[in-house]
C-alpha cells in the first residue's frame, strides 16, 4: 500500500535521458510544459503525445513505474473529465434528463485529462531518470541563475526531504504494525474515531523524525557543513553535445506547438 508511492524514486539506467545534465532536464521540463499549454487542438496534442511517448521509450523506464506514478491521481483525473464532460455548454451529443454531454465538453475533458497525465508523466520521468543528488544540484544552479537567494539551502532541504521519504514510509509501516499488535485498528470506524486512531501512529512518527533531524544536523556539523557560502563541488556539472541536442529538440517541439496553435 504505502510502498506504491513512487515520488522521488530513481530508476538507474544509461539511456539518453539518464545521461543528460540535470539542468538541461529541468529547463526542458519547463519548455515542455509551455508547449503542452500552448497546444489546444488535436494536431497539437498529437505532436505532444508522440513526443511524450518517445521520451518514455528513450528513457527505458518501465511503463509500470510511470503508470504507478499516475495512479494516485485518478480521483483528480476522473473529476476533471467529469466536470468538463457534463458542465460545458455547447452542441449536445447525448442527453438523459438534465444530464447532458456536449461535443465541446468531451473535447475539453479529453484534452484537460491528457494534459494532466502528460504533466505527471514528464515530471516523474525527470525524477525517475535523475539521481536525487544530481536533481538538487541542478535545481540549485537553476535557482542561482534566477538570482534566488539561499539557493543552496533550498536545494539542500529538498535533497534531505526526498532522501527521507522512503525512510519515513518504512517507519510508518513499522509503527503501524507495532500498534496493531497492541490491538489498534486503523481502518474501521467513523471519521472521528479514525482520526483519533492516528495519534498512536503520528506521535511516534513525529518523535522519530525530530530525532533523525537532530542526528543528521549533528552529523553534518561534525563534517563542517556550513551552508552554501564559498562551497565548491567535487562533481562539476558539465554540458555536453547531448544536452545541446536535447535543447534543440525541445525548442523545436515548443515552436511547432506554437505554430500549430496560432498559424494553422
Partner 1 sequence: MSIVLTGVSHTYSPNSPYEMKAIKNIDLEITEGEIIGLIGHTGSGKSTLIQHFNGLLKPTEGRVLVDGVDIVKKGVKLKDIRKKVGLVFQYPEHQLFEETVYKDIAFGPKNIGLDQEKTKSRVRKAMKMVDLDYAKYRDISPFTLSGGEKRRVALAGVLAMQPKYLVLDEPTAGLDPRGRDEILRHVTELHRRENMTIVIVSHSMDDIARLVDRLIVINQGELVYNDRTRECFAQYEELKRIGLDVPTMTALMLRLAEKGWPVRTDILTIKEAKEEILRVVRGGAADA
Footprint of partner 1 (CB under 8 A) = 3, 62, 64, 174-175, 177-185, 199-200, 203-204, 207-208
First to last CA, the chain: 47
Q: Which of 176/246 has CB closer to partner 1?
A: 176
* Closest distance of CB 175 from partner 1, Å: 6
In the complex with partner 1, which residue's Cβ is closer, 207 or 248? 207
* Structural contact between residues 131 and 10, judged by C-beta atoms closer than 8 angstroms: yes
State in angstroms the smallest separation of the CB of 63 from partner 1. Answer: 11
Q: Which residues pair with 99 in a beta bridge?
A: 96
- In the complex, minimum distance from the CB of residue 12 to partner 1, in angstroms, rounded to a whole number: 13
Beta bridge partners of 100: 95
The answer to whether the beta carbons of residues 123 and 29 sit under 8 Å apart is yes
Residue closer to partner 1 (CB basis): 180 or 220 = 180
Grid coordinates standing for 40?
A: 489546444
Provide the minimum distance between the beta carbon of 55 and partner 1 in the complex, in angstroms, as a whole number: 21
Is the Cβ–Cβ distance between 242 and 16 less than 8 Å?
yes
Q: Which is nearer to partner 1, 107 or 212 (CB)?
A: 212
Whole-number minimum distance, CB 179 to partner 1, in Å? 6
Give yes or no for a contact between 89 and 104, defined as CB atoms under 8 angstroms apart.
yes
* Contact present, 69 and 11 (Cβ < 8 Å): no
Helix (H) or strand (E) holding 104: helix 103-129
**Residue closer to partner 1 (CB basis): 49 or 208:** 208
What is the separation of C-alpha 119 from the centre of its chain, rounded to a whole number of angstroms?
8
CA 26 – CA 127 distance, rounded (Å): 10
- Shortest Å, Cβ 35 to partner 1: 31
For partner 1, the closer of residues 195 and 245 by Cβ is 195
Q: Which of 21, 245, 225 is nearest to 142 (CA)?
A: 21
Residue 162 or residue 175: which is nearer to partner 1 going by CB?
A: 175
Shortest spacing between CB 134 and partner 1, in angstroms:
23
Whole-Å CA distances, 175 to 21, 160, 171, 182, 184: 39, 22, 6, 11, 11
Amino acid at each position: 500500500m504505502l510502498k506504491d508511492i513512487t515520488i522521488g524514486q530513481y530508476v538507474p539506467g544509461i539511456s539518453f535521458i539518464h545521461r543528460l545534465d540535470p539542468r538541461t532536464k529541468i529547463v526542458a521540463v519547463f519548455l515542455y510544459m509551455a508547449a503542452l499549454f500552448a497546444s489546444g487542438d488535436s494536431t497539437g496534442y498529437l505532436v505532444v503525445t508522440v513526443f511524450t511517448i518517445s521520451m518514455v521509450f528513450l528513457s527505458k523506464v518501465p511503463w509500470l513505474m510511470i503508470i504507478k506514478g499516475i495512479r494516485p491521481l485518478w480521483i483528480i483525473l476522473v473529476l476533471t473529465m467529469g466536470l468538463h464532460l457534463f458542465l460545458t455548454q455547447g452542441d449536445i451529443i447525448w442527453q438523459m434528463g438534465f444530464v447532458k454531454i456536449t461535443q465541446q465538453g468531451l473535447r475539453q475533458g479529453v484534452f484537460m485529462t491528457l494534459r494532466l497525465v502528460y504533466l505527471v508523466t514528464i515530471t516523474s520521468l525527470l525524477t525517475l531518470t535523475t539521481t536525487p543528488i544530481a536533481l538538487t544540484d541542478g535545481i540549485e544552479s537553476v535557482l542561482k541563475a534566477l538570482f534566488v537567494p539561499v539557493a543552496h539551502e533550498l536545494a539542500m532541504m529538498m535533497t534531505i526531504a526526498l532522501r527521507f521519504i522512503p525512510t519515513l514510509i518504512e517507519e510508518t509501516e513499522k509503527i503501524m504494525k507495532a500498534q496493531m499488535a497492541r490491538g489498534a485498528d486503523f481502518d474501521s470506524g467513523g471519521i472521528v474515531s479514525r482520526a483519533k486512531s492516528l495519534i498512536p501512529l503520528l506521535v511516534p512518527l513525529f518523535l522519530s523524525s525530530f530525532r533523525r533531524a537532530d542526528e543528521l544536523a549533528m552529523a553534518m556539523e561534525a563534517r563542517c557543513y556550513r551552508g552554501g557560502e564559498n562551497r565548491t563541488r567535487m562533481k562539476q556539472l558539465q554540458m555536453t553535445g547531448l544536452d545541446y541536442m536535447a535543447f534543440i529538440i525541445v525548442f523545436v517541439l515548443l515552436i511547432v506547438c506554437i505554430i500549430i496553435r496560432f498559424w494553422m
